[in-house]
Every structure is written in structure tokens, then in C-alpha cells.
A and B are shown apart, each in its own frame.
Chain A
């Protein structure tokens, strides 16, 4: 446990992750654009799938981390939990934005429209709005501990809401069956390999971003403390 802690706090870890995810990402790009065969019915546009799915996965992972760390913060009241929750929330919103954009880019040629009020899309949009509120509630709070508490509450309530939102939206649209991406057919070997590698490299990228962001926040908190100290000394 101590070793893991030391590893996570190692100054060079984000750099190592960056190098690793950079290398893997280059390989992923090769796989997506050169290696994997073009999907028969949808053509070239289907390749965005290998970005879209890993990005969506990272967004869900980020929101799950927000949920866990929010519970951790309310239970322990240590700033570390809140810091991770905050940074994961930010990255989650960024990746959900990318999910919506890549989804729209794919939908235009595939469905003939940028947007379809389809369960997954609509749930992603609602999710995006909930976590935007998660970020805003913190910045509108009176002080940072209150902001951390409010945000933790929103992080927990929002996450629990997601399955109910998805269920409701799915039932809402049962009368208008939406195009199903891979109904019946499954991914071929090459496609599955590309997807898996892409998932791995995006997860690494996420780990890098999260650690780096947490480091920056920790430094910002330290600067805050130091400047408070200086102010107090000047007053004396």
C-alpha cells in the first residue's frame, strides 16, 4: 500500500505515463488508419468508432472515479479525495464533449443527421449537463470546503441518476426504433484488436491527464497556503 502510494506520488510518473501513452497512441493511429479493414456497410466513416468508444469508456471511468472519490471525501474529509474527484470530473466533461462531437461526426454520414434523440446520445447529453453543474456548483460555493461538499453531493446524486435516465430515455424512444450499430454482426479479429489497443491507449492517456491535473491542483493549493502565510506575516 505504501509502495503504491509512493509510486502514485512519484514526480516522474506522469512523464512516464505520457511517454507510454504517446507511443501506444502512435501505434493505435497506425492500426486505425492503416491496419484495420474498412467496414463493409458503413465504409471509411466507421473508423471513428475506434476513437468514439474508448473516449466514451474514459468518460464513464472518470465519472465513476468522481462518484467513488466523492463518497471518500464525505467519509474522510481529506482534501486528496476531493482533488481527485474534481480533476476526474473536469476530464470527464472534456471527454463527454468529445463523445458528443465524434458521435455527431459519425451520425451525419451514417444516419444522415448530426443528432438523433436516441437513448445513448440523449443520455450522454444529460450526463454532460449534470457534470457541468458539478463543476459550476463548486465555483459558485461560498468557500472551497463548502464547494467540495456540494460537489461531492452532486457527484454522488448525478452518478446514481444515470441508470434511471438511461432507462427512461430508452422507454421513451421504444416507439421509434433507432438504428443499431452492430446488430447481429460482431467485430472481426482485426477490428477487435484495434479497439482493444485503442481502449488501452486512451485509458493510459486518461491516467496521465488525471495524475498531471492532480499534481497541478496540489501545487495550486500549496501556493494558496503559502500566500496566505505571507499575508499573515505581513500583517504582523
Chain B
């Protein structure tokens, strides 16, 4: 495989294969997401009256924390047996490695979301199966993966690896969390598409900016 995308695809295939054999990242994210749902249910005392109001917040808080867990795992697994050094020694552009790792994380997170969303719908009686949810989930998850992949490469090389990722990741993705929660609220309330536009735009802008910046910055983060 040659070219930027060829190399990136090779890394995605590697990650997906490893995940299929180990079923580690997606499974732990999913179980964690479920646990969070249970915790939030008690924390917010979700009932039929307030579920439209709280539902969007619960969904995105769950996805945000599950995402933090998933990004950490994605690089911790590379660190074991020093696979990361092997990956860095590949005669491959660092930006391709970033793209590959990011797309793989994105795929795992989307998979988890695809399983968790129906669970939300059942457990909280939320009408999440609407066309509007598709761009919201996609854009928000791309934003999470763009920033999460960069910062998990930072965190995995730090001493306090478990705490470093959330400390870096959460404040930076604040715009995505706001936009995702707001647009999900509009969708759950049955508002027209025009209400969603500005939020989708802000997420698209965030995604574009941080995919470009992170792929540049990844080189400096992974230097030996």
C-alpha cells in the first residue's frame, strides 16, 4: 500500500484486526457507557417528565466519558510490548499514522454509539431514531476523535497517563459538547432542521480545524 491514505488504511486495518481478536476497546467502552447510564439515572432521577430535558445531556456525558476511556485504551495497547516504537519506526509519514489511529478510534466510538443509542431509546423512552441525529453524532464523534487521538498520544507518554487525557481533552472539546447537547435537545423536542444548522456548522468548523492542526502536531508529540 502506498500513498498517504494507503498507509493510513493499513493502520486502520491493523487496529480493527487487533480489536476483532481482542474485543478490548469497544467492549470496555460499551460496558462503561452502560454503567454511566445507570449512574446518571440515579444522579438525575430521570422520570417521564424530565427525560426530554435531561436526555441529551445524559447521552453526551456518557459518550464523552466513554470516548476518554476508548482513546486511552487505543494508545495504551500500543505501548504494551512497545508496539508504539515499532509504529513510529515505520517509514510512514506521522500524519498518516495520526489519520489511521484517528479513523480507527472513530470507528470504535461510532460502533459503541450505534449500540448505546438504541439502549438510551429503550431505557429512557427517548425518540433518538431521527435523521437529524446522524450528522450530529457523526460530527461530534469526529471532533472527539480528532482531539482525543492527539492528546492520548501525549498522555500515553506522560507519567500520570490516566489523568492526563481527561485534563487535556475535556476543556478543549467544550464547544463540541455544547453543540452536540444543544442539537440533540432540538431533535428530541422535534424542532425543525433550521434550528440545528448553526450547531452543525460549529461542529464542522471544529472538526476541520482540529483535524488539520492535530495531524501537524502529532509529529511533535510522537518524536522520540
Contacts and interface: CB of A to CB of B under 8 A. Distances in A.
A12 B220 CA distance: 37
Contacts of B220: 74, 149, 152-153
A171 interface: yes
A161 B175 contact: yes
How many B residues are at the interface, by size bracket? Answer: 20 to 34
B221 A165 contact: no
A164 B154 contact: no
Interface string B119-145: 000000000000000000000000000
Interface string B201-215: 010011001100110
A142 interface: yes
Interface string A127-161: 00110110011001110001001101110111011
A168 B175 contact: yes
Contacts of A149: 220-221, 223
B174 interface: yes
A157 B214 contact: yes
B150 interface: yes
B150 A157 contact: yes
A168 B158 contact: no
Given A136-B164, A157-B213, A146 B157 contact: yes
B168 A137 contact: yes
Contacts of B175: 161, 164-165, 167-169
B198 interface: yes
A137 B220 CA distance: 14
The listed residue with most B CB atoms (<10 A of its CB), out of A140, A141, A153, is A153
A164 B213 contact: no
Contact of B171 (A133, A160, A168, A172): A133
Contacts of A167: 175, 202
A68 interface: no
Contacts of B154: 137, 150, 153-154
A200 interface: no
Contact of A137 (B158, B172, B210, B217): B158
A150 B158 contact: yes
Contact of B202 (A129, A133, A164): A164
Interface in B153-188: 154, 157-160, 164, 167-168, 170-172, 174-175, 178-179, 182
A153 B217 contact: yes
Contacts of A133: 167-168, 171
Nearest to A164: B175
A18 interface: no
Interface string A152-186: 11101110110011011101100000000000000
A165 B174 contact: yes
A126 interface: yes
Interface in A209-224: none
A185 B140 CA distance: 40
A199 to B, nearest CB: 28
B120 to A, nearest CB: 22
A161 B158 contact: no
A142 B157 contact: yes
A164 B205 contact: yes
A172 B182 contact: yes
Contacts of A126: 171, 174
B206 A164 contact: yes
Given A152-B220, A164-B206, A137 B213 contact: no
B5 to A, nearest CB: 24
Given A149-B223, A157-B213, A168-B179, A140 B160 contact: yes
Given A129-B171, A130-B172, 19 more contacts: A126-B171, A132-B167, A140-B158, A141-B157, A141-B158, A142-B159, A146-B157, A149-B221, A153-B150, A153-B217, A153-B220, A156-B213, A161-B172, A164-B202, A165-B174, A167-B202, A168-B175, A168-B179, A169-B178
30 contacts: A126-B174, A129-B171, A132-B167, A133-B167, A133-B168, A136-B164, A137-B158, A137-B167, A137-B168, A140-B160, A140-B164, A142-B157, A142-B159, A146-B157, A149-B223, A150-B221, A153-B150, A153-B217, A156-B213, A156-B217, A157-B147, A157-B213, A157-B217, A160-B209, A164-B209, A167-B175, A169-B178, A171-B178, A171-B198, A171-B202
